[in-house]
Amino acid sequence: MSDAVTPFQAPIGTHDVWGSASGEWEGMIATFAQFAYRFGFELVITPMFEDVGVFNRGIGEQSEMATKEMYVFTDRGNRTHALRPEGTAPVVRAFIQHGPTTPWKAWYVTPAFRYERPQKGRYRQHHQLGVEVLGTDDPAVDVEVIALAHRFYEAVGLTRFRLLINSMGDAVCRAAYVDLLRAHLAAHVDQLTDEHKNTWMKNPLRVLDCKDANCIAVTDAGPMLIDSLCPECRAHLDHVIAGLTSIGIASQLDPRLVRGFDYYTRTTFEFVSDALESAQNAIGGGGRYDGLAEQLGGKPTSGIGFGSGIERLLLVREAEGVAPGTLLNRDLDLFVIDTTGADAATQLVDELRGAGFATDRAYDNRSMKAQMKVADKSGARWALLVGPKEFEAGEVTIRDLRSDNFEQAQRSVARNDVVLAVAELLTKS
């Protein structure tokens, strides 16, 4: 006798997508794919894991993400890999490896893995829709990338979101600013949270991100990067903001916006939703990373992109009361019921699917009543019935599953005319 096994559950902080959520996910991804195509991006798929160095060098070896959140493992060949915590570094690694013509405009849909404290809107495996553009620092590209996110959010029905923007400067002006900030923090260490008391020296920019009132008071009284930008970085930011304004996209300058990865330079941005709690209100974020390709061993190449969490977008849609099913209709057109016990349904569904109708059927040769129950639950508009009587007469009964009036609900058509009859019904309904 085998031991009883307690049914397994998905790991903490992960979730399955199925049932009614499934169509919402498909709609979200299909809409994003459509926008990426419209904006001239190609789909890029990179491995789910990379040499750990791709991330350590990209997002910063000392960063919270690299030290505490990354899923790192050694494979059987003794190579150290990491499950991707984000999508940008792998795309830049692929860019260096393949050397595509620039500008290279890539989009992706990918899971990302972060060992975080799970809560609503924050998971250990989440999924991102994103884009990256490699090979130009033209502010027009910054505008285009931000506009793509903005137009996509509008298209999926969101209205209560804001665009926050800042500049991280370049290697030179940011380094000068970080020195200023360190000097300021050094004079106020005792007011910082315990965490930042330990890390301010190594990671002073993170203090700007802190939500603690004392940390905010300290940084409020200190220098802001926006005031230390070199003229070129300031002009780049102004150009981006003006470009956005020219196409009707409002942005709010947020000097505290520093984002979590070391690779950012110049433009950084985040879209926040006012329909979600503030801790998890970022529906998307991104920015420039003009030094990342070099960090990963490539030639100096500018880059910019953004990532947006699918789970967060769906939470915001719900919080904003957007009706489900509006992105993509995944209702079945037809449901075939066959009580002849032979291949009538197999042939009928093959023909109907071939003609382009979304068609499902019942299995296991069950009774008419049992099959009708499945048809009712399937969401299909019309059922096609083939019993021994219909089969004999070379006919199919078509039944309106949304009508209670038995007389009007069904009619017979010749088996050979079924595709035409169904096409007519579906264009009318």
Three-state helix/strand/coil letters over 323-348: CCCCCCCCCCCEEEEECCCCCHHHHH
Per-position x/- string for 240-269, each x denoting binding to ligand HAM as judged by CB under 6 A, each - no binding: --------------------x---------
Which of 27, 87, 139, 204: binder of ligand HAM (CB under 6 A)?
Answer: 87
Phi, psi for residue 38 in degrees, rounded to 5: -60, -30
114 counts as binding ligand HAM under rule CB under 6 A: yes
Instruction: Report the C-alpha gap between 150 and 199 in whole angstroms.
Output: 35
Please work out the total of residues on this chain that contact ligand HAM, with binding judged by CB under 6 A: 26
The single-letter code of the amino acid at 342 is: A
Beta pairing partners, 113: 125
- Cis status of the peptide bond prior to 103, with omega within 30 of 0: yes
Residue with smaller CB distance to ligand HAM, 193 or 280: 280
Residue with smaller CB distance to ligand HAM, 208 or 396: 208
312 counts as binding ligand HAM under rule CB under 6 A: yes
Options 81-89, 102-110, 213-221, 244-252: segment touching ligand HAM (CB under 6 A): 81-89
Supply the DSSP symbol for 67: I
57 counts as binding ligand HAM under rule CB under 6 A: no
- Which of 213, 316, 219 has its CA nearest to residue 272? 316
Do 209 and 270 touch, CB atoms closer than 8 A?
no
Smallest separation (angstroms) from ligand HAM to the CB of 122: 4
Per-position x/- string for 270-309, each x denoting binding to ligand HAM as judged by CB under 6 A, each - no binding: ------------xxxxxx-----------------xxxxx
Instruction: Report the C-alpha gap between 367 and 387 in whole angstroms.
Output: 10
Supply the DSSP symbol for 228: T
Residue with smaller CB distance to ligand HAM, 316 or 336: 316
Smallest separation (angstroms) from ligand HAM to the CB of 29: 15
Where does this chain bind ligand HAM (CB under 6 A)? 86-88, 114, 116, 121-123, 126, 128, 130, 132, 260, 282-287, 305-309, 311-312
